[in-house]
Amino acid sequence: MSIAEQPALSADLATVGHWIAGRAEEDATRFAPVYDPATGEVARRVALAEAADVDRAVVAARTAFADWSQASLAKRSGVLFRFRELLAAGADEVARTVTAEHGKTLDDARGEVQRGLEVVEFACGIAHLMKGEASEQISTRVDSTSYRQPLGVVAGITPFNFPSMVPMWMFPIAIACGNAFVLKPSEKDPSASLILARLLAEAGLPDGVFSVVQGDKVAVDALLTHPEVDAVSFVGSTPIAKHVYETATAHGKRAQALGGAKNHAVVLPDANLDVAADAIASAAFGSAGQRCMAISAVVTVGDEAGDALSAAVVERARALTVGPGAADGSEMGPVISPEARERVAAYAGRGADEGATLALDGRELVVAGHEGGFFVGPTVLDHVTPAMDVYKDEVFGPLLVILRAASFEDALALVNANPYGNGAAIFTADGGAAREFRSRVTAGMVGINVPIPVPMAYFSFGGWKNSLFGDLHVHGREGVLFYTRGKVVTERWPERAHGVDYGFPTQT
């Protein structure tokens, strides 16, 4: 179904609205449909903000920033500790909401809430994380101290594939650092953001420190150009990441924009092929391949290992139970939209037309009782070459391509020639090869016999090349640096009153 064919949105549908200055708001003149991807039905509608709505949220944030930035570290971490407890207690509600709108399995949704919770726990340590440095006696009776201070109002613009976790990569740290935060979630699965807003308010966060504006490009562009927004964190596809980074920085804002990915797994002939096949099948088809760290390209070294690995991955993929995310036993849910399903099918067909072997074709999959759902089965294309579109483009669905390389060096060169550089993994029993890969691969997150090497909250998450525009990755130490700016104070306290000295200070 194309956008033009979407059913008219009935006003009887429940509305997912904004959260501005501590209040829920549902009034809007534009709305978009929010689907249940497991049935294909429109379940509710989401309000789409105009520039004036964004302005109200930003003005409220600027006002709230004045007091929040001056609140003690103990007060700020106290709010986060309470939010952590409320979120842990409400994790199931968040996960069920994510599954209802995104389609991923409940287990997967619970996993994403847990990963978000870990960032909240990291942010609870803000008193330690914001400590500066000090040097006594940099000159006679002169001392220097450095501080990290909040930026002001920061915006977060997030993708559909992790509607609770990706916002939590951002706002817990931004808020803990003393900023006010305006979130623009994906319009495809907007409801989780409102649960988070309610829990923050219950935790005692002052009104205006955290707001949610629902919307599309209109809201995004209003945030990117608003003079009172100091910084922008973005996660989404590469073309939009580039637009966000360029527009935000052109308007004088600090920006970090995480983009798309084509994550490779290199499998050497000495790898345990059963272990590698288990890991690759789960990393390629978990969450229907809609993870920024999903493995979407495998590069095998040596024909024999390639054939065995390909057969083993296909066997596992064929055995996957595809069904509604909320149903017991479902291992893979639907994709997010009819367009996403059509995209996967079109790339599978194009790859086959270009000469790849369609080793597993998920295009005709039908889930009984859910015929209208946006389901597409696991699909594997073998003997893919780097020139094929199905390799060059990010497909973002349950479609895995397998390429063959003659040697470790060829495989590494192939990975490094790819314009994306989010994650890369190697499967091998050879420590020397693993070390070489770790050192020379041009990706921001590297797995050694680990298919999805997502850093824990206290490390930082981010890719290289077209997977990140900006300098700092999200969460961990780099998250704290992104949401703060440095100040260095030099102070002299004379022992006793003395006359003015216009000379250059020296270290005597």
| Residues 6 or more apart in contact with residue 128 via CB below 8 angstroms | none
Per CB under 6 A, the segment of 141-149, 153-161, 268-276, 407-415 that binds ligand NAD is 153-161
Q: Which of 220, 273, 299, 445 binds ligand NAD (CB under 6 A)?
A: 220
Query: Which residue lies nearest ligand NAD, judged by its C-beta?
Result: 236
Q: Which of 292, 345, 367, 480 binds ligand NAD (CB under 6 A)?
A: 292
Q: Tell me if residue 292 is catalytic.
A: yes
Shortest Å, Cβ 97 to ligand NAD? 17
Q: Which of 15, 105, 161, 296 binds ligand NAD (CB under 6 A)?
A: 161
Nearest residue to 155 via CA among 251, 76, 81: 251
Query: Is residue 236 part of the contact set for ligand NAD (CB under 6 A)?
Result: yes
SS3 473: coil
Question: Between residues 123 and 258, which has the closer beta carbon with respect to ligand NAD?
Answer: 258
Query: Is residue 256 part of the contact set for ligand NAD (CB under 6 A)?
Result: no
| Residues 6 or more apart in contact with residue 442 via CB below 8 angstroms | 415, 416, 421, 464, 465
How many secondary structure helices (H) and strands (E) does the chain include?
Answer: 16, 23
What residues numbered 397-426 form the site for ligand NAD, per CB under 6 A?
422
Question: Between residues 122 and 461, which has the closer beta carbon with respect to ligand NAD?
Answer: 461
Dist. CA 372–CA 359, nearest whole Å? 26
Question: Between residues 15 and 247, which has the closer beta carbon with respect to ligand NAD?
Answer: 247
Query: Is residue 68 part of the contact set for ligand NAD (CB under 6 A)?
Result: no
Q: Which of 50, 93, 143, 216 binds ligand NAD (CB under 6 A)?
A: 216
Shortest Å, Cβ 37 to ligand NAD? 13
Contact (CB, 8 A) for 365 and 375 = yes
Stretch 447-466: interaction string toward ligand NAD, x if CB under 6 A: ----------------x---
- Enter the tokens of residue 242: 């580039």
Question: Between residues 45 and 243, which has the closer beta carbon with respect to ligand NAD?
Answer: 243
Q: Which of 292, 390, 415, 472 is catalytic?
A: 292
List, as one string, the DSSP characters of 26-68: ---SEEEEEEETTTTEEEEEEEE--HHHHHHHHHHHHHHHHHH
Question: Between residues 83 and 169, which has the closer beta carbon with respect to ligand NAD?
Answer: 169
Per CB under 6 A, the segment of 25-33, 103-111, 194-202, 236-244 that binds ligand NAD is 236-244
| Residues 6 or more apart in contact with residue 353 via CB below 8 angstroms | none
Query: Is residue 467 part of the contact set for ligand NAD (CB under 6 A)?
Result: yes
Question: Between residues 336 and 405, which has the closer beta carbon with respect to ligand NAD?
Answer: 336
Dist. CA 261–CA 159, nearest whole Å? 13
Nearest residue to 295 via CA among 405, 422, 392: 422
Q: Which of 25, 53, 118, 187 binds ligand NAD (CB under 6 A)?
A: 187
- Which stretch of DSSP H or E encloses residue 128? helix 126-129
Shortest Å, Cβ 28 to ligand NAD? 15
Query: Is residue 394 part of the contact set for ligand NAD (CB under 6 A)?
Result: yes
Question: Between residues 351 and 470, which has the closer beta carbon with respect to ligand NAD?
Answer: 470
Per CB under 6 A, the segment of 21-29, 67-75, 157-165, 445-453 that binds ligand NAD is 157-165
Task: Report the amino acid identity of residue 146.
Answer: S
Question: Between residues 79 and 219, which has the closer beta carbon with respect to ligand NAD?
Answer: 219
Strand order in the sheet with 142-150: 134-139, 142-150, 484-492
Query: Is residue 259 part of the contact set for ligand NAD (CB under 6 A)?
Result: yes
Contact (CB, 8 A) for 87 and 120 = yes
Stretch 350-389: interaction string toward ligand NAD, x if CB under 6 A: ----------------------------------------
Dist. CA 129–CA 75, nearest whole Å? 15
- Enter the tokens of residue 329: 């036993």
Nearest residue to 59 via CA among 156, 145, 180, 157: 180
Contact (CB, 8 A) for 479 and 455 = no
Per CB under 6 A, the segment of 88-96, 215-223, 308-316, 423-431 that binds ligand NAD is 215-223
DSSP assigned state of 474: B
Nearest residue to 340 via CA among 302, 296, 375: 375
Shortest Å, Cβ 259 to ligand NAD? 6
| Residues 6 or more apart in contact with residue 423 via CB below 8 angstroms | 261, 263, 293, 443, 444, 445, 446, 447, 452, 453, 454, 463
Query: Is residue 217 part of the contact set for ligand NAD (CB under 6 A)?
Result: yes
Binding site for ligand NAD (CB under 6 A): 157-162, 166, 184, 186-187, 216-217, 220, 235-237, 240, 243, 258-261, 292, 394, 396, 422, 463, 467
Which positions are annotated as active-site residues? 292
